[in-house]
């Protein structure tokens, strides 16, 4: 008896067994090899990655809340509280429970939007975050818009004129953007453009005359004033936001222009660019119609991450310009020892960063035909 006979004896005649990747009956393609199956597996993998990343964020914030040298019970009851009052508050916060149970309660509360009460304001942290987050969102969005509208063309032209004076300017702009402290640029901007020239509004989101005059709908003053048709309030709000937004936009511009230049240089050395030039296409069409279209997909990821970095990195800008956003809110809460507010703000910003990263990944896979 040879080996083939042994196999047949064990599993019967396998001549009619379907191949591992044979099509399904009636000519229908198998589900596992279909494009829908690949996309479902991709979507499931992205959701799993999102869940694990959020879980990691909650673990980190939970540990921070436990290792910080701040007694949350003492912040609530005060230093003159009796031991009985202290113990009652200690049990009410669940600090007498095992750590695993405390973490489970913490995750449950966060998933239900419950970050506790803020010691500083006396309001629920989620209510405070709803109030201050639109200001940060508006500032970061305008800063990203400035960074994209200037950084992308600058990076493209710098790559097309490699070694020229525009390329040198782009390099200097990126270098200064990475090197200069943002608080110094902010102070100098206020001194020159507000204190000396008077071209922009001062710190804050609005002047005293317009404070509270526009009905809040979105929490973003520029949009709310446009909805209300109050052009005077819009001009006042724009004069206050333009300087901090330009400052953030400059740092976004430095990153976006450098990445755009790098992507373009890689494309400009490709064979298809040489072929397009040999065919007699204009340089403008070669650059913008062919090379730029091929970098648009990775550029989406760069812009999304730049926007996320402005959301989380605008703390110093908000402090310098007295901008009532989430960065200033978290900073004040940290100085006051208000850990509920600090952890709530950290979770919100971290979730935004993770969500934008996931969105950029999804857009990358949708827009890039090679991902199929």
Domain ranges of the chain: 36-111, 125-371
pLDDT tens digits, residue range 80-128? Answer: 777 787 778 778 777 778 888 888 888 888 888 888 888 878 888 999 9
Q: What is the mean pLDDT of the chain?
A: 80
Closest-CA residue to 154 (of 58, 9, 300, 258):
258
pLDDT (0 to 100) of residue 244 = 93
**What is 78-134 written as a DSSP string?**
-TT--HHHHHHHHHHTTTTS-HHHHHHHHHHHHHTT---B-TTTSSBHHHHHHHHHH
Q: How far apart are CA 53 and CA 58, in angstroms?
A: 9
351 and 130 Cβ atoms separated by less than 8 Å? no
pLDDT band of 27, cuts 50, 70, 90: very low
Q: What confidence tier does 368 reach under pLDDT thresholds 50, 70, 90?
A: low
Domain 125-371, CATH? 1.10.3720.10
Nearby residues of 314 by Cβ (< 8 Å), 6 or more positions away: 136, 139, 140, 143, 248, 323, 325, 327
How far is Cα 200 from Cα 190, in angstroms, rounded to an integer?
Answer: 9
- Least confidently predicted of 139-143, 150-154, 275-279: 275-279
| The two structure tokens encoding residue 20 | 């591992």
| Distance separating alpha carbons of residues 174 and 253, to the nearest angstrom | 8
> Poorest-confidence range of 7-11, 171-175, 180-184, 194-198?
7-11
Burial of 221 (0-12, 13-18, 19+ CB in 10 A): buried
Query: Is the CB of residue 344 less than 8 Å from the CB of residue 116?
Result: yes
């Amino acid at each position: 008896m040879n080996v083939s006979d042994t196999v047949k004896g064990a599993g019967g005649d396998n001549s009619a067994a379907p191949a591992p990747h044979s099509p399904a009956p009636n000519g229908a393609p198998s589900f596992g090899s279909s494009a829908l199956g690949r996309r479902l597996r991709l979507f499931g993998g992205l959701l799993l990655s999102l869940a694990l990343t959020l879980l990691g964020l909650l673990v980190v914030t939970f540990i921070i809340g436990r290792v910080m040298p701040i007694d949350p019970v003492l912040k609530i009851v005060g230093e003159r509280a009796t031991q009985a009052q202290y113990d009652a508050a200690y049990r009410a916060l669940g600090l007498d429970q095992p750590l695993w149970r405390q973490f489970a309660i913490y995750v449950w509360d966060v998933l239900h939007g419950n970050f506790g009460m803020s010691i500083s304001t006396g309001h629920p942290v989620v209510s405070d975050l709803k109030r201050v987050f639109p200001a940060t969102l508006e500032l970061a969005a305008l800063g990203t818009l400035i960074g994209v509208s200037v950084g992308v063309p600058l990076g493209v032209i710098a790559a097309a004129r490699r070694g020229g004076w525009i390329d040198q300017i782009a390099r200097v702009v990126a270098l200064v953007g990475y090197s200069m402290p943002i608080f110094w640029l902010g102070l100098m901007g206020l001194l020159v453009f507000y204190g000396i020239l008077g071209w922009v509004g001062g710190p804050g989101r609005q002047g005293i005359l317009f404070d509270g005059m526009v009905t809040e709908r979105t929490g973003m003053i520029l949009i709310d004033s446009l909805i209300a048709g109050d052009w005077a309030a819009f001009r006042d709000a724009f004069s206050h936001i333009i300087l901090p937004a330009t400052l953030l936009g400059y740092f976004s511009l430095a990153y976006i222009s450098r990445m755009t230049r790098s992507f373009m240089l890689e494309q400009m050395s490709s064979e298809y660019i040489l072929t397009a030039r040999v065919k007699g296409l204009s340089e403008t069409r070669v650059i913008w119609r062919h090379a730029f279209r091929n970098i648009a997909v990775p550029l989406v990821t760069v812009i999304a991450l730049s926007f996320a970095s402005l959301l989380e990195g605008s703390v110093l800008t908000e402090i310098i310009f007295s901008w009532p956003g989430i960065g200033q809110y978290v900073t004040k809460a940290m100085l006051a020892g208000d850990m509920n507010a600090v952890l709530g703000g950290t979770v919100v910003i971290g979730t935004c960063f993770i969500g934008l990263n996931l969105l950029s990944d999804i857009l990358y896979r949708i827009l890039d035909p090679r991902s199929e």
